[in-house]
């Protein structure tokens, strides 16, 4: 974690700033009605120009860009997802019903498990069979707590079936063996007569599961074994050889990739092993504020800093993609951004190793802009998994025993689900800057897609003090109607709590209209907006 923070600091110093060119034209008079409600200051608006090339679009936004990640860490699995069959909390075979419902609502496409750093110290055979016979283990990486191993392979795959999503398992390279990984795949997927398939049957599952995504290690440059890229590339080649396709199951093999701006790792992996992988991972956490790492007690300086660091995802993806293009010009190898998000200080009084953090409107903006950037890179990015699903880092849901709240980040995933499997529409955005403390970033950020005859445009306005007027032209299409939803709040620090769960939640948006076939919109300060154009 310290390593991550150090890196974030380095990135911050190196940032190349704006990700889109801008033209700044100030219109003193607002031509449009004020937004529906919620704290929008439209007294000083600026006019900005967006072109959505609605008659173009060649790439599909892989639904897995909206993926999630659940590690054995703090209260993510135990308490967050798994409560056990005997719990008074409503559950299906030990898995919380409210969590399954909430995640299905945002159409979770894929779930990565069991880690993270935990993956490289997890021995899957300890997590199968009768629960009372499973040996406990110490989670040395996260809080030194003892786990009873009641949530294992069967429970994870049951969870994915309940969620109706793809499963993505990260295998242990750091402290595991080739045999252990080979047997895990056989245990899950082999339909015939074999020691592993029979062990699965003995444990109550007759039919094999299908599993597509398989990670060969996690952060093997760090917590997964402190390896050099050359050493890991050789290990990857060896391990992946034995990740077999049994009984018609076809595995998409994912090699452990880099972190942030570490480009030599990508170069070496692509050079030595690129032909033996389907995907290469990438992690990037955008840290927290400049002066305060608190998730909810921060100033505008911290807001600005956080957004700026999150925007660096654009440069990072561009640079890693360029390296991958050298070795794989046809883009056969997917970039899997299988960990991303904000990383704040833990909530006061909680275990530092549990990474339990609150989630504010600032996190919603981080999610909105990051998903926009990932959409824009969907030619190379085939999956992304925000860290993490429940109660850890930039979570979707925070639980307190039987109660739960949906975070602002959850609501962004809800708004943005329209992009899943849609056709990305190229966009040109010219916008004003949001300047703070002698520094500046573009005030707006966008992505657009087309699905089932509808165009969806998701926009972020980072400026916490000024609304932005935007003229949106749709080339090749005459817009007939526009509707929208908005996520904003009174304060940059606004967040949901068990006592007040609906402080930050989407409401319908009425400050968009059609004029001469174009969409005219006033984006309130500090907001995420979804527009649907027909």
Q: Is 292 exposed, middle or buried (0-12, 13-18, 19+ CB in 10 A)?
A: middle
- The alpha helices in 312-407, defined as continuous H runs, are 313-327, 361-376
Distance CA 191, CA 199 (A): 12
Distance CA 167, CA 157 (A): 7
Q: Got the DSSP string for 272-289?
A: HHGGG-SEEEEEEE----
Would you call 324 helix, strand, or coil by DSSP?
A: helix
Distance CA 111, CA 346 (A): 24
Cis previous bond, 484, omega within 30:
no
Q: Where does 298-443 show beta strands of DSSP type E?
A: 334-341, 381-387, 397-400, 403-406, 423-425, 427-430, 433-436, 439-442
Tokens encoding 402? 């039987």
User: CB of 351: closest distance to ligand AHR in angstroms?
Assistant: 14
User: CB of 488: closest distance to ligand AHR in angstroms?
Assistant: 28
**Closer residue to ligand AHR (CB): 140 or 497:** 140
CA torsion, points 154, 156, 158, 163, in degrees to nearest 10? -170
Closest CA to 530 of 289, 364, 356: 364
**Closer residue to ligand AHR (CB): 52 or 169:** 169
509-519 burial by CB neighbour count: b if 16+ within 10 A, else e? bebbbbeeebb
**Closer residue to ligand AHR (CB): 338 or 463:** 338
User: CB of 287: closest distance to ligand AHR in angstroms?
Assistant: 12
CB 48 within 8 A of CB 463: no
Of these residues, 147, 186, 339, 469, which one is catalytic? 339
Q: Is 219 a catalytic residue?
A: yes
User: CB of 117: closest distance to ligand AHR in angstroms?
Assistant: 4
**Closer residue to ligand AHR (CB): 342 or 523:** 342
CB 529 within 8 A of CB 511: no
Distance CA 239, CA 216 (A): 7
Residues near ligand AHR, by CB under 6 A: 71, 115-117, 218-219, 339, 387-388, 393
Distance CA 187, CA 81 (A): 24
User: CB of 165: closest distance to ligand AHR in angstroms?
Assistant: 19
**Closer residue to ligand AHR (CB): 121 or 186:** 121
User: CB of 359: closest distance to ligand AHR in angstroms?
Assistant: 15
Query: Please, what sign has the CA dihedral across residues 423, 112, 141, 367?
Result: positive
**Closer residue to ligand AHR (CB): 388 or 399:** 388
User: CB of 388: closest distance to ligand AHR in angstroms?
Assistant: 6
**Closer residue to ligand AHR (CB): 338 or 469:** 338
How would you classify residue 475: left for phi > 0, otherwise alpha for psi between -120 and 50, otherwise beta? beta
Q: Which residue is nearest to ligand AHR (CB)?
A: 116
Residue that has been written with the tokens 């700026």 in this structure: 308
Identify the bridge partners of residue 13 per DSSP, sorted by sequence position.
Answer: none
Residue 264: its H or E element: helix 263-273
Q: Is 107 a catalytic residue?
A: no
User: CB of 386: closest distance to ligand AHR in angstroms?
Assistant: 10
Distance CA 279, CA 334 (A): 4
User: CB of 483: closest distance to ligand AHR in angstroms?
Assistant: 36
Identify the bridge partners of residue 487 per DSSP, sorted by sequence position.
Answer: 528
**Closer residue to ligand AHR (CB): 314 or 339:** 339
Sequence-separated (6 or more) residues with CB below 8 Å from residue 56 = 425, 426, 475, 476
Sequence-separated (6 or more) residues with CB below 8 Å from residue 132 = none
Residue 80: its H or E element: none
User: CB of 243: closest distance to ligand AHR in angstroms?
Assistant: 20
Residue 184: its H or E element: helix 178-189
Of these residues, 219, 305, 314, 469, which one is catalytic? 219
**Closer residue to ligand AHR (CB): 127 or 222:** 222
| Total number of residues shown for the chain | 534
**Closer residue to ligand AHR (CB): 34 or 353:** 353
* Residues carrying an active site annotation: 219, 339
């Amino acid at each position: 974690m310290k390593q991550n923070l150090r890196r974030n600091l380095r990135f911050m110093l190196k940032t190349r700033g704006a990700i889109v060119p801008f033209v700044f034209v100030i219109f003193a008079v607002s031509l449009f009605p004020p937004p529906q409600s919620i704290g929008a200051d439209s007294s000083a608006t600026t006019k900005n120009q967006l072109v959505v090339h609605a008659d173009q679009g060649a790439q599909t936004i892989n639904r897995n860009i909206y993926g999630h990640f659940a590690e054995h860490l703090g209260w993510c699995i135990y308490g967050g997802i798994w409560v056990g069959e005997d719990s008074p909390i409503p559950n299906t075979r030990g898995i919380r019903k409210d969590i399954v419902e909430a995640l299905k609502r945002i159409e979770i496409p894929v779930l990565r498990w069991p880690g993270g750093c935990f993956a490289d110290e997890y021995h899957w055979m300890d997590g199968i069979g009768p629960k009372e016979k499973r040996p406990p283990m110490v989670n040395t990486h996260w809080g030194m707590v003892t786990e009873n191993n009641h949530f294992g392979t069967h429970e994870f795959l049951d969870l994915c079936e309940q969620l109706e999503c793809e499963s993505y398992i990260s295998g242990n390279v750091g402290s595991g063996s080739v045999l252990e990984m080979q047997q895990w795949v056989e245990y899950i997927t082999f339909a015939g007569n074999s020691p592993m398939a029979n062990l699965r049957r003995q444990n109550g599952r007759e039919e094999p599961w299908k599993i597509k995504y398989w990670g060969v290690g996690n952060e093997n440059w760090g917590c997964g074994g402190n390896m050099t890229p050359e050493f890991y590339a050789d290990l990857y080649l060896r391990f992946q050889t034995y990740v077999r396709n049994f009984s018609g199951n076809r595995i998409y093999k994912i090699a452990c990739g880099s972190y942030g701006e570490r480009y030599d790792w990508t170069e070496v992996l692509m050079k030595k092993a690129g032909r033996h992988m389907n995907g290469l991972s990438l992690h990037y956490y955008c840290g927290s504020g400049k002066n305060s790492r608190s998730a909810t007690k921060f100033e505008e300086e911290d807001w600005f800093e956080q957004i700026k660091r999150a925007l660096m995802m654009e440069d990072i993806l561009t640079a890693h993609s360029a390296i991958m293009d050298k070795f794989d010009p046809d883009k056969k190898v997917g970039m899997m951004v299988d960990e991303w998000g904000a990383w704040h200080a833990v909530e006061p009084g909680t275990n530092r190793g549990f990474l339990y953090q609150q989630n504010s409107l600032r996190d919603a903006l981080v999610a909105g802009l990051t998903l926009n950037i990932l959409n824009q890179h969907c030619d190379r990015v085939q999956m992304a998994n925000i860290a993490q699903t429940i109660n850890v880092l930039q979570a979707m849901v925070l639980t307190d025993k039987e109660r739960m709240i949906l975070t602002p980040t959850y609501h962004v995933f809800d708004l943005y689900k329209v992009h899943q499997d849609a056709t990305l529409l190229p966009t040109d955005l010219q916008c004003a800057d949001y300047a703070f403390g002698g520094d500046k970033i573009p005030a707006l950020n966008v992505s657009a897609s087309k699905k089932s005859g509808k165009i969806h445009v998701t926009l972020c306005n980072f400026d916490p003090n000024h609304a932005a007027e935007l003229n949106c032209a749709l080339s090749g299409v005459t817009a007939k109607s526009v509707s929208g939803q908005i996520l904003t709040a009174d304060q940059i620090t606004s967040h949901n709590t068990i006592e007040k769960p609906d402080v930050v939640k989407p409401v319908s948006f009425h400050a968009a209209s059609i004029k001469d076939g174009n969409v005219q919109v006033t984006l309130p300060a500090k907001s995420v907006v979804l527009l649907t154009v027909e």
